[in-house]
Amino acid sequence: MKVLHVIPSLSPARGGPGIVLRQTMESLAARGITAHVATTDDDGAHARAEVPYGAGVAESGGVCFYFPRQTRFYSFSWPLTVWLRRHIAEYDVVHIHALFSYPSTAAAWLARRNRVPYVLRPLGTLAQWGLSSRRPLLKRWSLRLIERPMLKHAAAVQATSEQERLEVQDACAECRAVVIPNPVAMPDAPPVRPARAKPSTILFLSRIDPKKGLEVLLGAFDRIAAGSPDLRLVIAGDGRPAYVAEIRRLAASLGSCDKITFTGNVAGRQKQQLLEDADLFVLPSRSENFGVAVAEAMACGVPALISTDVGIHPEVTNAQAGKAISCRADPEPLATAMGQMLSDPAALRRMGENGWKLARDKYSPDVIAGLLIDQYEAIVADAPSRSTGSQPQEHRLV
C-alpha cells in the first residue's frame, strides 16, 4: 500500500504535528507501508528549512518532498500544487494533516478530483478555543465554505481523543470520525526512577503559547515555592518572541524567580534528560486535542498533572497516571494539586509506573500503526475502482 501524507510543515518549531508524523512514518515503514510526505519548507514563522525542492529526501523510513512556501499566511505553495496534480493519483490513500491551511485544501480537492480516498487529521483546529481566539470571523466563513465540505467528503476524520471526536462532529455531523491517538516513542524497558535527592523538579515541556496556561502555572508555582525551598520549575519550549518575552518578564517579577529556569527549545538527548530528571510534569493547557508532551512524559514514567482541557485527561485519570483539574484562570487549584502530589513520593512513583503502562498499551508506535493500517485497508476496500490513466512514477531521492 502506498500512502501520501500532506502537511503544511514538518518543522519542530511548529510543535507536535511534524514530530508525530515522523514517528508515524517510521512505524508504518516497519509494517511494510510505503509512506511519502508532501510539505513546504516552513521552518517557523520567519524561517525556511534548507532542503532540496521537489526531490525526494529519504527521512523517517519514508520519502519527503519539500516545496517553497510563497506566503506565511495559509502556507500557500504553487509548486506543491503542481506536484500534487501530477502525482496524487499514484497513491492508494492520502492522509491530510491540518485544516485552515492551503496544502490541506489543495490536497483534499485534488484527491477527490482523482477519486483517491483521503483521511483528515484536524490537529485540534476545530476546538472552540482556537476557533474563537484566532481570526474567528475568517475561520467561521472558511469552516462553512471550505473545511466543512472537506470533512464531509473525507473517507475518515482522525480524531486523536474522544474530546476531539466530539469537536469534529460538532463541526460536521455528517463526517465519519474515528479515534486514533498520536504515537509516542517508548523506551525499551520500563524506566527506573529511584527516589531523588532534592530539589524536586516540576517540568513544563511544550510550545510557549497563550493557550498553554503558563501564566496560571507561574502563579501556582509562586504560591508553593515560598514554603518549599527545595523546589524548582523548568520551562522547556519556545514560541513567538514577543509572547516568550512577556512570559519571561512575568517570571522575573515573581518572588520565586530564582527557582525558574527557561531552557528554550529542546530535542534529542537534552529533552530526554529533562524528562528523566522531572518529578512531576505539568500542562495546564486551555485547549489540547491530545497532548503529545503528556504522553511523552508518561512514557518516561513521569506522573502528569494536567487540565481537563487536555484531550487525554480521562485516560490519565482512569489509569491513575496523574491528576486532571480545571484551572483555566485561577492558579489556586493548580497550586493545591502540585503541593499535594509532590508531598507523596510513593504515590508519584505509582502514578509514573501506571503512566508508562498506559503509554505502552495505548500510544506506542506499533499500536497506532496497527490502527492506522486497519483504517487504510478498510478505506481502500470500500473505495470505488478508479482508472487514472497514469502509471506510478519513480521519484529521485537525494
pLDDT, tens digit (0-9, with 9 covering 90-100), for 75-121? 999 999 999 999 999 999 999 999 999 999 999 999 999 999 999 99
Pair 94, 32 in one domain: yes
Q: Is residue 25 part of a domain?
A: yes
Q: Is residue 358 part of a domain?
A: yes
> Which of 76, 209, 74 lies closest to 138 in space, CA to CA?
74
What average pLDDT does the segment 134-151 reach? 91
Cis peptide bond N-terminal to 8, omega within 30: no
Indicate the helix (H) or strand (E) that contains 62: strand 62-67
At 4-20, the pLDDT tens digits run: 999 999 998 787 899 99
DSSP SS3 for 336: helix
Pair 352, 377 in one domain: no
Pair 354, 371 in one domain: no
The three grid cell numbers given for residue 317, joined into one nine-digit string:
485519570
Indicate the helix (H) or strand (E) that contains 19: helix 16-30
Q: Is residue 193 part of a domain?
A: no
Give me the pLDDT at residue 375, please: 97
CATH number at residue 148: 3.40.50.2000
- 370 CB-near residues (< 8 Å, 6+ apart): 31
Residue 175 sits in which domain range? 2-183+364-382
Amino acid sitting at position 382: D
Q: Give percent of the chain above pLDDT 70.
A: 95
Mean pLDDT, the chain, as a whole number?
A: 92
Pair 114, 246 in one domain: no
At 54-70, the pLDDT tens digits run: 999 999 999 999 999 99
Give me the pLDDT at residue 355, please: 96
Residues forming a β-bridge with 96: 6, 120
Pair 55, 124 in one domain: yes
Q: Is residue 253 part of a domain?
A: yes
What average pLDDT does the segment 323-336 reach? 93
The three grid cell numbers given for residue 8, joined into one nine-digit string:
503544511
Residues forming a β-bridge with 155: none
> Which of 348, 336, 344 lies closest to 220 in space, CA to CA?
336
Give me the pLDDT at residue 196, please: 66
**DSSP state letters, 260-284:** EEEEES--HHHHHHHHHH-SEEEE-
Q: What burial letters (b/e) apply to 341-377, b meaning 16+ CB within 10 Å? A: bbeeeeebbebbbbbbebbbebbbbebbbeebbebbe
Pair 148, 211 in one domain: no
Q: Is the pLDDT of residue 395 over 70?
A: no
pLDDT-derived band at 129 (thresholds 50, 70, 90) equals confident
**DSSP state letters, 140-157:** HHHIIIIIHHHHHH-SEE
Pair 221, 241 in one domain: yes
Rounded distance between C-alpha atoms, residue 239 and residue 127, angstroms:
20
Give me the pLDDT at residue 390, please: 46
pLDDT-derived band at 209 (thresholds 50, 70, 90) equals very high
Rounded distance between C-alpha atoms, residue 279 and residue 30, angstroms:
33
Rounded distance between C-alpha atoms, residue 81 and residue 96, angstroms:
14
Pair 164, 228 in one domain: no
Contact 285, 211 (CB under 8 A): yes
Q: Is the pLDDT of residue 398 over 60?
A: no
Q: Is the pLDDT of residue 383 over 50?
A: yes
What average pLDDT does the segment 259-288 reach? 94
DSSP letter, residue 320: T
Beta 304-307 vs 62-67: how paired, if at all?
unpaired
Q: Is the pLDDT of residue 394 over 60?
A: no
Indicate the helix (H) or strand (E) that contains 44: none
Pair 178, 129 in one domain: yes
Q: Is the pLDDT of residue 134 over 80?
A: no
Q: Is residue 388 part of a domain?
A: no
Is the model more confident about 142 or about 390?
142
Q: Is the pLDDT of residue 391 over 70?
A: no
Give me the pLDDT at residue 258, please: 95
Pair 134, 64 in one domain: yes
> Which of 62, 52, 72 lies closest to 29 in space, CA to CA?
62
Q: What does the CA dihedral 9, 11, 15, 20 come to, rounded to 10 degrees? A: 80
Q: Is residue 151 part of a domain?
A: yes
Rounded distance between C-alpha atoms, residue 61 and residue 5, angstroms:
13
At 162-197, the pLDDT tens digits run: 999 999 999 999 999 999 999 999 987 778 776 666
Q: Is the pLDDT of residue 250 over 70?
A: yes
Lateral strand order in the sheet of 177-179: 57-59, 62-67, 34-40, 2-6, 93-97, 118-121, 156-159, 177-179
Q: Is residue 387 part of a domain?
A: no
Give me the pLDDT at residue 392, please: 44
Contact 103, 129 (CB under 8 A): no
Using N-to-C axis directions, what is the helix angle for 345-358 and 292-299, rounded to 10°?
A: 110
The three grid cell numbers given for residue 209, joined into one nine-digit string:
503559547
Q: Is residue 395 part of a domain?
A: no
Q: Report residue 264: phi and psi, to 5°.
A: 75, -170
Q: Domain count of the chain?
A: 2
Give me the pLDDT at residue 130, please: 79
What average pLDDT does the segment 37-65 reach? 92
Rounded distance between C-alpha atoms, residue 196 and residue 201, angstroms:
10
What average pLDDT does the segment 127-154 reach? 89
Rounded distance between C-alpha atoms, residue 355 and residue 319, angstroms:
7
Pair 176, 288 in one domain: no
At 220-238, the pLDDT tens digits run: 999 999 888 889 999 999 9
Pair 216, 125 in one domain: no
Q: Is the pLDDT of residue 387 over 50?
A: yes
At 335-349, the pLDDT tens digits run: 999 999 999 999 999
Is the model more confident about 383 or about 33?
33
Q: Is the pLDDT of residue 138 over 50?
A: yes
Rounded distance between C-alpha atoms, residue 284 and residue 308, angstroms:
8
